[in-house]
């Protein structure tokens, strides 16, 4: 019976209902998309690094494992010393260039020969390898998103680059230029941001990591396995703070709208609450009616939020095809829990206020 | 036989800011079970306050009030609510039906709050007596004043309360509907031996009752 009354109340005030549902949907959708974007970005970046097929990553001291956040170059000759370590099959240096023209991109400055040796070589969809200093390789996702063709000129780092080839995605970056060009453009002559180290067999990773640690005690040496496990927002304080802030904003929106909605409801329905009290409804009963109403609004809002997240994902991917948005079941459940708890907390004060109403005053309310 | 209502020196004082407004100034009243009592008097004489206290909606300031053997003056708000749920039915001048529910649901909600569930025999008997069977699926806005008041009466008596407290039940009705509602209440009193305490300032309505008590300035002036 309470449920029927709750549904009737919700249907009786459609504008309030729609606004409340939209607020909860916004909350759920926002949480899912923000987390999905960051998780997707991290996972996609990690996958691309894994796609280089190196076993070990060597970076200078204090470098971020989220490439591109710091360039922190180190002497290129370190590569020769790494290559001398037993069971090292190949070493490929790369210099990261952070480009913000026409979107945010990390460009890898690479030495084609060593990079091919570590990765096993690019798969070309069109064109061929880097030949001239201002040649550039773009991956197929970037090419599709930006309608790039071989031979076309692209402006990066305030220079024009000729697209030499379109390669299969998944080899570290989406854009590759020659290492020497990258060094010249950044003034980091004979420097590299990272060394991708491939062992003669992945089983040798641990002894090789130990050997590198001995050789370069202060440097950051990570097996790719470790790197993959570290690529979560929990290991990136700035990203984690951003996610937390966005979730807090989303929850605050849901909480405040439900609070206002239920508070208004109590005022509007003072007389009805008086009627229930005259029939002998206890304070618990009144609180239950209000909280059930908030729960129902929240449930519909959560469902709408899921729909909104899926639609937002599709729209974002259509507009920015290189993005990766990972909508996970885990975060769908977290978003639902946050929305439900936020709604119930938001409805609690109005519910308690309704329960405390004096029945005589409530019945006399105009 | 023990009276179902017994009040002694019942007083109620409202505070409006720093001003004390005495609504009841010592009411002594006895009502027997099965009695149909009308409380008449001009506006502001305290009759609604008396009804609210007898219905457990508000506590008295002083004095004793025994309803079916329960002393309201010492009961907590929760105890009075529980008592009201099981023993008292209210009918109001403004009908006070829940606007979002149908007539049937308005009656069911009383049963749901009472917690004893749906009793089809009682439901049929009440609905038939009040002549609202064909109106059960209508919402209040689709019912006339008389029909709304009959639904309100059905809701008030569906759980077989010990007392029916009616606050100006014909105050918002025309003469014809007033007569119908009064006849219904009379029939309920006779058929189910329903104790009824009705407040009215209408002498014609009061005349339907077995006994008429008159109030003025917070006191009973004639019985």
Condensed to tens digits (0 to 9), the pLDDT of residues B141-166 reads 999 988 999 999 999 988 888 899 99
Dist. CA A325–CA A42, nearest whole Å: 10
C-alpha pair distances (Å), B31 with each of A212, B46, B67, B109, B207:
100, 18, 9, 29, 17
The answer to whether position A302 is within a domain reads yes
Which pLDDT score, from 0 to 100, does residue A71 have? 58
Whether chain A has a CB inside 8 Å of the CB on B139: the answer is: no
Q: What is the pTM for the complete model shown? A: 0.78
Closest CA to B152 of B143, A63, A345, A213: B143
The domain spans of chain B are: 5-222
Cβ contacts of B117 on chain A, cutoff 8 Å: none
Residues A89 and A173 in one domain: yes
Candidates 1.10.150.530, 3.30.70.2740, 3.40.50.300, 3.20.20.140; CATH matching B5-222 = 3.40.50.300
Q: Decide: B39 and B47 in contact? Cβ < 8 Å.
A: yes
The answer to whether position A340 is within a domain reads yes
Closest CA to B221 of B71, B79, B39: B39
Dist. CA B162–CA A256, nearest whole Å: 45
Q: Which residue of B has its CA nearest to A277?
A: B81
The answer to whether position A227 is within a domain reads no
* Most distant CA atoms of chain B, gap in Å: 52
Whether chain B has a CB inside 8 Å of the CB on A84: the answer is: no
Contact at CB, B105 and A279, closer than 8 angstroms: no
B89: closest CA of chain A, how far (Å): 7
Q: How many residues does chain A have?
A: 366
Residues A210 and A242 in one domain: no
Q: Percent helix, strand, coil in chain B (nearest 5)? A: 35, 30, 35
The answer to whether position A231 is within a domain reads no
User: Residues of A numbered 104-163 whose beta carbons fall under 8 angstroms of chain B's beta carbons: which are they?
Assistant: none
Residues A279 and A357 in one domain: yes
pLDDT class for B114, splitting at 50, 70, 90?
confident
The answer to whether position A224 is within a domain reads no
Whether chain B has a CB inside 8 Å of the CB on A358: the answer is: yes
Dist. CA B49–CA B55, nearest whole Å: 10
The answer to whether position A140 is within a domain reads yes
A296: closest CA of chain B, how far (Å): 17
Q: Which residue of A has its CA nearest to B79?
A: A282
> Which residue, of A190, A218, A246, is where some domain finishes?
A218
Which residues are CB-contacts of A252 (< 8 A; sequence separation ≥ 6)?
none
Dist. CA B92–CA B96, nearest whole Å: 6
Dist. CA A335–CA A341, nearest whole Å: 10
Cα dihedral value A96, A98, A101, A104, nearest 10:
110
Count up the domains in chain A and report the number: 2
| Each residue's pLDDT tens digit, B162-197 | 899 999 998 888 888 888 889 888 988 988 888 999
Residue B76 DSSP code = -
pLDDT tens for each residue of chain A, 366 residues long: 788 888 888 888 899 999 999 999 999 999 999 989 888 888 888 888 888 899 999 988 877 666 655 556 889 999 999 999 999 999 999 998 887 766 677 899 999 999 999 999 999 999 999 999 999 999 998 898 888 999 999 988 888 999 999 999 988 889 999 999 999 988 888 899 999 999 999 999 999 999 999 988 888 898 988 888 887 777 777 778 888 898 899 889 888 988 998 898 888 889 999 999 999 999 999 999 999 999 999 999 999 999 999 999 999 888 887 778 888 899 999 999 999 999 999 999 999 999 999 888 888 877
Which pLDDT score, from 0 to 100, does residue A226 have? 87
Residues A331 and A294 in one domain: yes
B214: closest CA of chain A, how far (Å): 23
Contact at CB, B105 and A4, closer than 8 angstroms: yes
| Structural domain of A189 | 61-218
> Which residue, of A162, A190, A218, is where some domain finishes?
A218
| Each residue's pLDDT tens digit, A54-98 | 999 998 887 766 665 555 688 999 999 999 999 999 999 999 888
């Amino acid at each position: 019976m309470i449920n029927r009354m709750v549904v009737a109340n919700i249907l009786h005030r459609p504008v309030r209902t729609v606004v409340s549902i939209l607020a909860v949907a916004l909350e759920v959708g926002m949480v899912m998309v923000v987390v999905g974007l960051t998780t997707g970005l991290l996972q996609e970046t990690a996958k691309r690094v894994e796609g280089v097929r190196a076993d070990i990553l060597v970076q200078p001291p204090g470098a971020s494992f989220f490439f591109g956040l710091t360039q922190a170059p180190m002497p290129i000759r370190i590569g020769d010393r790494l290559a001398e370590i037993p069971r090292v099959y190949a070493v490929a240096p790369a210099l990261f260039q952070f480009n913000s023209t026409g979107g945010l991109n990390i460009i890898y400055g690479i030495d084609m020969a060593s990079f091919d040796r570590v990765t096993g070589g690019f798969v070309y969809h069109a064109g061929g390898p880097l030949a001239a200093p201002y040649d550039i390789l773009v991956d197929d996702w970037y090419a599709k998103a930006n309608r790039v063709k071989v031979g076309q000129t692209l402006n990066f780092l305030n220079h024009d680059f000729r697209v030499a080839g379109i390669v299969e995605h998944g080899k570290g970056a989406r854009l590759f230029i020659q290492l020497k060009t990258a060094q010249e453009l950044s003034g980091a002559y004979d420097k590299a941001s990272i060394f991708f180290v491939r062992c003669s067999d992945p089983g040798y990773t641990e002894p090789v990591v130990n050997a590198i640690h001995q050789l370069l005690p202060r440097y950051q040496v990570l097996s790719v396995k470790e790197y993959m496990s570290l690529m979560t927002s929990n290991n990136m304080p700035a990203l984690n703070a951003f996610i937390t802030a966005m979730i807090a904003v989303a929850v605050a929106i849901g909480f405040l709208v439900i609070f206002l909605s239920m508070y208004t409801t109590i005022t509007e329905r003072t007389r009805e609450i008086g009627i229930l009290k005259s029939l002998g409804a206890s304070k618990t009963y009144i609180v239950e009616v209000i909280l059930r109403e908030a729960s129902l609004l929240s449930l519909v809002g959560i469902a709408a939020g899921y729909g909104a997240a899926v639609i937002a994902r599709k729209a974002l991917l259509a507009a920015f095809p290189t993005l990766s948005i990972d909508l996970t079941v885990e975060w769908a459940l977290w978003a639902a829990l946050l929305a439900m708890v936020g709604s119930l907390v938001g409805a609690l004060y109005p519910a308690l206020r309704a329960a405390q109403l004096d029945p005589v005053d409530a019945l006399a309310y105009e | 036989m023990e009276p179902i209502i017994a009040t002694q020196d019942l007083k109620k004082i409202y505070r409006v800011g720093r001003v004390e407004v005495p609504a009841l100034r010592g009411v002594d009243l006895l009502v027997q079970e099965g009695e149909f009592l009308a409380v008449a008097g001009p506006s502001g004489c305290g009759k609604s306050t008396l009804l609210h206290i007898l219905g457990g909606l508000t506590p008295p300031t002083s004095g004793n009030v025994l309803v079916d053997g329960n002393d309201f003056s010492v009961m907590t708000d929760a105890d009075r609510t529980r008592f009201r749920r099981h023993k008292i039915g209210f009918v109001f001048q403004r009908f006070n039906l829940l606007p979002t529910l149908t007539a049937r649901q308005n009656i069911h909600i009383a049963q749901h709050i009472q917690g004893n569930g749906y009793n089809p025999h009682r439901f049929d008997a009440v609905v038939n007596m009040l002549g609202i069977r064909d109106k059960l699926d209508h919402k209040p806005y689709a019912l006339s004043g008389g029909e709304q008041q009959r639904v309100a009466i059905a809701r008030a008596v569906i759980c077989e309360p010990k007392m029916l407290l009616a606050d100006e039940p014909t105050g918002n009705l025309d003469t014809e509907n007033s007569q119908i509602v009064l006849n219904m209440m009379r029939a309920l009193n006779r058929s189910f031996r329903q104790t009824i305490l009705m407040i009215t300032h209408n002498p014609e309505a009061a005349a339907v009752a077995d006994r008429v008590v008159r109030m003025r300035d917070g006191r009973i002036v004639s019985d």
